[in-house]
Amino acid sequence: MFETNNLNNIDISVESAFDTYLNAISEENLEYENINVEDSLSRILYDDITVKRDYPSFDKALEDGYAVNSSDVLSARQNNPIKLEIIGETNVENLERLTILTKQAVKISKGAFLPENADAIILPADAKEKDGLLNVFKSVTPDSWIAKKGEDIKADEVFIKKNRKIRPQDIGGIIGIGFRQVKVYKKPVVTIIPTGNELVPLDVDPDSNQIIASNGYVLKGFVEQFGGIGRISSIVKDDLNQVKSAISKALEVSDMILVSGGSSAGSKDYTFQAIKSLKNSVIIAHGIAMRPGNHVLLALVDNKPVIGLPGHPVSNLTSFHIFGKAVLRKLAGSARSFWQERKDNIKLDALLAKKICSPLGKEDYVRVRLFEQEDGKITAYPYTGKSSFLSTLVKSHGIVKIPSECGCLYEGDRVEVLLF
């Protein structure tokens, strides 16, 4: 932990702040709920899903054709057909299991019980039926076009491990093995508190010195995209007691709090003071070596994460993407797999279209817009506008990170773009 008394004049590295904050957030009290499987898309499994019985539950045909014993047709050729006696027919509605003897066959439909002593299916194209006999023109190997009992999944086998983020095909599989409900982590409730005397709500036409409070809606959208439930509180004025009261009330109904604005060190920036004055509060970091978002505030109150985000739109969004997104994913159940991590943090390579420089000692996050060239290569055009410029967020597709020890990236450099 960092000492809160010394934080205002220290710029902690992004990596150090990130690791310390994430490690301080406990998963012990995460709750679950039972929901219908069909409603579980993108939810995180709380428990392993264990198969109740074998799948398939019997030996069955995978195609229409004729059930045979492969040893009876080993020498079957186009010019030397093998004749088998057809003793009956079976389909998916017939639960009686027939039995074949040497040189016998059963006409069978896809999905039906495989007869006793049969170990393969002859396809109709490789045989001809006439007068109760089957002329087979092609040999088959054992297990051709059949599925054996338990070949797909064995009883008591773990079908899907816990902490999987449920995909459409997972829903089909879970329903297919007989589950109608599934246990998933509850979605974390995130309260977003917009602060600032200059802010007005959506239904107010702003004066020249006022700003419509749009940051909260951007944050709410990302919160819900990343697995949470976003709630926007009423606008809070620049007043210590009002900010403190808003945070206290949000703590009663939230798993995480985002305070938008007031995280800097100005005379009317009260987020730090409000959080510090609350009982059971711990300030992890306030002042991080990054740009934009230098004044992001990372704290815990009653073991719940409270993040103070800068008010400027670009700084606000960048800070949330670097810190808030990871915290939210942890509270939502942490889908632990390398491929899910890549799906949730989509990155692509691009060629930088223009030189960009950054002050040494700060990790810099630059918005970029992507273009596909005629040769298929992707170029990234940087936006270096000020952090209050809404247009650069709307027009950009992602961000490029410039490491703290790097002064410049040059035109033509290959860069990694984290997509919004």
Q: 197, 209 in Cβ contact below 8 A?
A: no
Q: What is the reported pLDDT for 267?
A: 57
Strand partners of residue 61: 146
Q: Are residues 177 and 193 in the same domain?
A: no
Q: Are residues 215 and 100 in the same domain?
A: no
Low-confidence ranges of the chain (pLDDT < 70): 1-10, 265-268, 335-336, 385-389
Does residue 116 form part of some domain? Answer: yes
Of 337, 362, 392, at which residue does a domain stop?
337
Q: 334, 185 in Cβ contact below 8 A?
A: no
Residue 113 belongs to a domain with what CATH number? 2.170.190.11
Q: Are residues 288 and 201 in the same domain?
A: yes
Q: What is the domain extent for residue 174?
A: 34-55+163-185
Residue 16 belongs to a domain with what CATH number? 3.40.980.10
Give per-residue pLDDT as tens, 360-401: 889 999 999 999 999 999 999 998 766 556 777 888 999 999
Q: Are residues 362 and 272 in the same domain?
A: no
Does residue 156 form part of some domain? Answer: no
Q: State the total domains in the chain.
A: 4
CA–CA gap between residue 168 and residue 42 (Å, rounded):
8
Q: Are residues 300 and 193 in the same domain?
A: yes
Which strands, in side-by-side order, build the sheet including 120-122?
Answer: 120-122, 65-68, 104-108, 82-90, 133-136, 127-130
Residue 388 belongs to a domain with what CATH number? 2.40.340.10
Does residue 157 form part of some domain? Answer: no
CA–CA gap between residue 330 and residue 333 (Å, rounded):
5
Give per-residue pLDDT as tens, 254-313: 999 999 998 776 656 799 999 999 999 999 999 899 998 889 999 999 999 999 999 999
Dig out the tokens for 27 from the structure.
């998963």
Q: Are residues 258 and 202 in the same domain?
A: yes
CA–CA gap between residue 87 and residue 79 (Å, rounded):
25
Q: 404, 362 in Cβ contact below 8 A?
A: yes
Contacts of 12 (CB under 8 A, 6+ apart): 2, 285, 287, 288, 289
pTM of the predicted structure, to 2 decimals: 0.82
